[in-house]
Structure 1
Amino acid sequence: MRLHVGCAMWTHTPWNGRFLPHPLPPGERLRAYSTWCDAVEGNTTFYATPARATVESWARQIDPDFRFVVKLPKSITHHHRLTGAEHDLHTFLDAIEPLGPRAHALWVQLPSSFGPADVGTLAAFLRRLPSSHRYAVEVRHRAFFDEARPAALLERVLGAAGAEWVPFDTVTLFRSPPTSDAERDAWTKKPRVPRRTRALTGHPIVRYLGRDSVEATVEGWREWVATVAGWLREGRSPTVFIHTPDNADALTLARRFHDEVRARVPELRPLPEPMPAEPPTLF
């Protein structure tokens, strides 16, 4: 029984010297992060396909059961809108091949303009993908959340492909006006959609965005603690990513979420002890 938790990145300046040793060479940063969390969002691949040698370095730093949820490049999802991007897709799949089983799912994040009329395009794209990977789709068009027929249509397409629907839960962020610069920035950029807690596969993936206040973030995830505990009892193996607008405490929050679920499901395997930020002293 495994619950994997993680953050939106594995390096973040506010963590340096506070949670993670600093300085660290690039070839050690993911390894240090992996002592805190056992999953990470692969957001960097959205902006550019990494060199294969870079991905080989990532793979060397982590155990085979670590979970990368790797985002497809925006050239495929946003520029080509899933059509005519075979070359970009082939290049991306070749680049991430060294991750092996660590590539837990390939993440298809679609723009907010990708709506119910485009579901056929998504279905055709998913059919063309190699069966060697697991897939997860994130949609942002409001119709998929507000209208029963588009939601049911999307679920049928995802179900036929064995793909998961990834919720990006921003309800806590938008519950009250922003109180920091990071929250104000998030208000302008993040999707405002209802919470969705239905899993389609045995490997649900959740993206939860809280507030810069630890207390508000923890209060906002209560429903997810119960939902994830229920998934585990059903035999599912979820992955949950904890975000806050500034992500300053995201590492400890991810572990706290794991602890709260484990309090409800005691047989859940604990996370490893994190690497200390400073070397031990002799005195």
Structure 2
Amino acid sequence: MKLHVGCAMWTHAAWQGSLLPHPLPPRERLRAYASWCNAVEGNTTFYATPSAATAASWAEQTAPDFRFLLKLPKQITHERRLADTDGLLRSFLDVVEPLGPRVHALWVQLPASFGPSDLGTLAAFLHRVPRGLRCTVEVRHPAFFEDPRWERRLEGVLNDVGAEWTSFDTTDLFAAPPSSAAEREAWQKKPRLPRRSRALTEHPVVRYIGRDELGQEQLGRDGAQPTAAGWRHWTGTVADWLREGRSPTVFLHTPDNEQALSLARRFHDGVSSLVPGLEPLPEPVPTGPPTLF
């Protein structure tokens, strides 16, 4: 059994020299990240489509079973709201084609205004995605979480094409008032929605955002860092999915993401303690040259 875990990015200034080697040329940064995690969110593709050469370099730096969750460009999801996007989608897929099986899923993140009245548009779009490409859809309209009728309707649209419903869990982020600048910014930008942990397919996707680690005063009652204390629901859920034969992918976030790499591996360790035989993650590359002592 194998669990895929990752972060929101593969390069972060706070990791350089402490968790990842520094300096690193751009074409080696993903390779170093991939020694820590076996998946990554492709957030950058929302803002700018990479060149085919860049996508090829990503493939060169990762193993064939490394997972990219590629966010569709904002022109497709936010500006055109999935309507009249065949050409844009085809161009995007052509560019990322060098990644091959590493494209675990196309991440269809929709704006909060995309609601029940837009389900027909979503259904039509998903039916136009080439067969063989997996989709995971992230919705933020409250009706899908608060009204069982619309929850069932959305599940029906997704089930019809074998698409997953991305679980974006911010409940622990909003469990206590923000205590850092990054947490205050996250409170302004992240959706405050109920936790949803129902898998529709064999490939569930979880995006979990916790809290920043600020010091001893932020530890939980049992001495656990607040993000790790908050994800216990997910270690149990993911362990159950693995026992059922599912292949989950879990992304760990904090508002400042300074500890996200370490937290992703700690999450994997937590699931491993519940699921004997889970395949281990690779050994991280050393941050500096070896020494004699």
TM tier, smaller: over 0.9
Secondary structure of the corresponding residue to residue 250 of structure 2: strand
Residues 251-272 of structure 1 deviation map (CA, whole Å, 9 limit, x = unaligned):
0000000000000001111111
Residue 220 of structure 2 corresponds to none
1:118 to 2:114 alignment: no
Identity %: 67
Cα deviation for residue 2 of structure 1 reads 1.1
Residue 238 of structure 2 corresponds to 228
Residue 218 of structure 1 corresponds to 228
Map 1:1-283; keep pairs closer than 5 Å: 1-213=1-213, 215-283=225-293
Cα deviation for residue 282 of structure 1 reads 2.6
Instruction: Provide the C-alpha distance between the structure 2 equivalents of 1:146 and 1:219, rounded to a whole number of angstroms.
Output: 26
Runs of 4+ residues over 4 Å off in structure 1 = none
Q: CA RMSD in A?
A: 0.7
* Residue type at the aligned position of 1:134: R
Secondary structure of the corresponding residue to residue 174 of structure 2: helix
* Residue type at the aligned position of 2:262: T
Instruction: Provide the C-alpha distance between the structure 2 equivalents of 1:119 and 1:14, rounded to a whole number of angstroms.
Output: 40
Instruction: Provide the C-alpha distance between the structure 1 equivalents of 2:105 and 2:153, rounded to a whole number of angstroms.
Output: 22
Residues 70-97 of structure 1 deviation map (CA, whole Å, 9 limit, x = unaligned):
0000000000000112221111000110
Cα deviation for residue 132 of structure 1 reads 2.4
Cα deviation for residue 59 of structure 1 reads 0.4
Instruction: Provide the C-alpha distance between the structure 2 equivalents of 1:272 and 1:224, rounded to a whole number of angstroms.
Output: 22
Residue 217 of structure 2 corresponds to none
Residues 224-255 of structure 1 deviation map (CA, whole Å, 9 limit, x = unaligned):
01000000000000000000000000000000
TM superposition score normalised by structure 2: 0.96
Instruction: Provide the C-alpha distance between the structure 2 equivalents of 1:112 and 1:277, rounded to a whole number of angstroms.
Output: 41
Moved more, 210-219 or 7-16: 210-219
* Residue type at the aligned position of 1:61: Q
